[in-house]
Structure 1
């Protein structure tokens, strides 16, 4: 982890943080900032129990030998003779611009009712339909991005992260310090996403992927690394979570004016956070080429006129 605090005279300050997923995930890096803010504002030697990190690595049980599988698959992916310890460096695409959008609580409810009405019109689903805030937001973003970018593939993939702490057997403490997330995939036909019922199609795909979590959050993990070698292009992906409550870090001068995830400049993912005004909506940040951003913005707002 590296930190940088930049002071802007008579304006405020900015805290920059960089971490690596080999050490922590987003939940823990956010918890670190909250703990820091708590001590700064209220004093004391340590944060409250819900912010106190749990360091015991022995609670993680690797009964299937994933550590050896991952090492061997990584060596096969990068080459067995590679001696480089350099971290992969992703470049920022030239001409990319950043945008921030919001799905208000009212907009989310509109989307929820639309999806539920489509469900009633269609035949019975084989799996439970998830119309949570997270599922609806990801589905809507998936559809808008596919329409804005017009990929040539017949089938689209969507990647979302799952916190494994409560899903492991046995579960581990929610404050476990480390990287304890797993990426999961949702699949949908491109034409379905581009169609009139695109959001409902995306929610159905997300729901099916979430349903597979009942088989275990690490089910199929032995093939995750080798899967990277078969991927021709990046999937659409979500980073962050409204549950992190990034706007709740108060160092004693009030809530942050703006929180941004700068890594999406390079990864191509979009980032989710709670609405900064505390209204129950979702703030979404993404980075696209100029024309794609213009198309996305138009599609995003037009799609909410339902």
Structure 2
């Protein structure tokens, strides 16, 4: 597919929460937020089928989207706010100022050079074709006093007349994690589908987010201090960006529920105690093994048999950590609330005949260890583990999760016909989502160089067939 030409901008609108509904507010960054200050943006794309014209969308759909987004921002106001960066040594913080801060919404129309069906296809495509529908975060503003103010989120709705629409989100990850983003999207979606009524009139609305416990989340062992030092030592006035990789494509693969069950059955049979294994563990183990096999073959460097490969997973700490003596961080908490876990497996085990079993056992053990430990007490050592992961060959991480139910976003147009996590192209991440057909399968999104992607597709499919026999 040819490079996507920039769409025509129809309008740019600043969406404010309803006036007077949110007082001017400041929120501190917690030790969960600080690690994300220097990392690339979080980027999500949702594609929806829409057979009508641009004029119909602007008249029939867009006003309701805007109205419901405004009401949603009443509760998710940090997405309309800014990161305030005072001169060092004062730490950055989040601010929402009533009547001044807003979320930028861009409305655009495809120029006709891009085929909507190609954009939403699972097959490998140049990563650049999605960049035209991904909004760019506005640059920071500098006050006369030298205070930097960075917007936290921007959204773009791109219309493909007679074919579909794309809702693109670009956000700074230090504001909130995927659980909060999913919460925000589902709140907005529910309001939109109910024609933007007042929240009290809609029984299906999710509970609003919780901002109250942020001030009481204590930093164990000054975890945030080191992250702030790195933030200050770099150019803190700009959000992180990355160079465009050459010859990189992205593709989506699907594992059916039956294929996952075959994997689970094999792993359970092969394990010493034959204890059941989780769905999350087996599909992640299988994908990780397939990716490392591909990358080693592509590099042409076998390496030492005792070489250790590392996979970083994230454990949601909501309802698992207490911010007060008796109160756990609620599931509706707005912000980042994930702990990194590093899973390590030796090459000879990971690439052996029972590599998926070795990866599954390591994943199960690491998750069990994290869930049974006092995560706050282990927080000071998280950075050491992440550094070990980052310095290894082929460090791999995951983005998204089927449990977030990203395909449940029905704005009255039907559920998405495709969802892409675009920021995996920064390297090393595998994206996971529930299968869009509702069959309890899983979608695997990945970005690799073209020749490497071809090899990965072959290894993945061969592996699936092997477990079907």
Q: Does 1:33 align with 2:196?
A: no
Q: Does 1:167 align with 2:320?
A: yes
The secondary structure found in structure 2 opposite 1:270 is strand
Partner of 1:69: 223
Cα separation, 2, equivalents of 1:38 and 1:207 = 36
Change (3 A) 1:74 1:190: farther
From 250, 256, 259, the equivalent of 2:410 is: 250
Aligned residues of 2:342 and 2:385 also touching (Cα < 8 A): no
Q: Which runs of 5+ in 1 are unaligned?
A: none
Scaled by the length of structure 1, what TM-score is found?
0.89
Q: Does 1:265 align with 2:450?
A: no
Partner of 2:213: 57
Partner of 2:355: 198
Cα separation, 2, equivalents of 1:241 and 1:59 = 28
Pairwise CA distance, 1:295: 1.4
From 282, 305, 309, the equivalent of 1:156 is: 309
Cα separation, 2, equivalents of 1:181 and 1:216 = 14
Partner of 2:176: 24
Paired residues, number = 296
Cα separation, 2, equivalents of 1:208 and 1:228 = 18
Pairwise CA distance, 1:133: 1.4
Q: How does 1:116-195 map to 2 (within 5 A)?
A: 116-119=268-271, 122=272, 131-150=277-296, 152=303, 154-169=307-322, 170-195=327-352
The secondary structure found in structure 1 opposite 2:167 is strand
Partner of 1:114: 266
Q: Which runs of 5+ in 2 are unaligned?
A: 1-152, 297-301
Please give the per-residue CA displacement for 1:34-58, whole angstroms capped at 9, x wherever unaligned.
1111111113222645342111134
Partner of 1:294: 454
The secondary structure found in structure 2 opposite 1:165 is coil
Question: Which deviates the most, 222-231 or 269-278?
Answer: 222-231
Cα separation, 1, equivalents of 2:228 and 2:309 = 25
Cα separation, 1, equivalents of 2:156 and 2:364 = 40
Aligned residues of 1:74 and 1:225 also touching (Cα < 8 A): no
Change (3 A) 1:171 1:10: same
Cα separation, 2, equivalents of 1:217 and 1:94 = 40
Please give the per-residue CA displacement for 1:141-188, whole angstroms capped at 9, x wherever unaligned.
110011100173610111111110021134222111111112111111
Aligned residues of 2:421 and 2:431 also touching (Cα < 8 A): yes
Change (3 A) 1:105 1:81: closer
Q: How does 1:265-284 map to 2 (within 5 A)?
A: 265-284=425-444
Pairwise CA distance, 1:226: 4.7
Please give the per-residue CA displacement for 1:80-123, whole angstroms capped at 9, x wherever unaligned.
7556332332334211111101111000100001001111xx4x
Aligned residues of 1:258 and 1:276 also touching (Cα < 8 A): yes
From 182, 187, 194, the equivalent of 1:42 is: 194
Q: Does 1:217 align with 2:375?
A: yes
Cα separation, 1, equivalents of 2:154 and 2:276 = 38
Aligned residues of 1:59 and 1:172 also touching (Cα < 8 A): no
Aligned residues of 1:239 and 1:269 also touching (Cα < 8 A): yes
Aligned residues of 2:342 and 2:386 also touching (Cα < 8 A): no
Cα separation, 2, equivalents of 1:59 and 1:211 = 29
From 239, 248, 253, the equivalent of 1:87 is: 239
Aligned residues of 1:130 and 1:207 also touching (Cα < 8 A): no
Change (3 A) 1:229 1:302: closer
Q: How does 1:223-234 map to 2 (within 5 A)?
A: 223-230=381-388, 231-233=390-392
The secondary structure found in structure 2 opposite 1:185 is strand
Partner of 1:239: 399
Compare CA radii of gyration and give the structure with the larger one.
2
The secondary structure found in structure 2 opposite 1:238 is strand
Aligned residues of 1:70 and 1:222 also touching (Cα < 8 A): no
Cα separation, 2, equivalents of 1:227 and 1:87 = 25
Partner of 2:256: 104
Pairwise CA distance, 1:60: 4.5
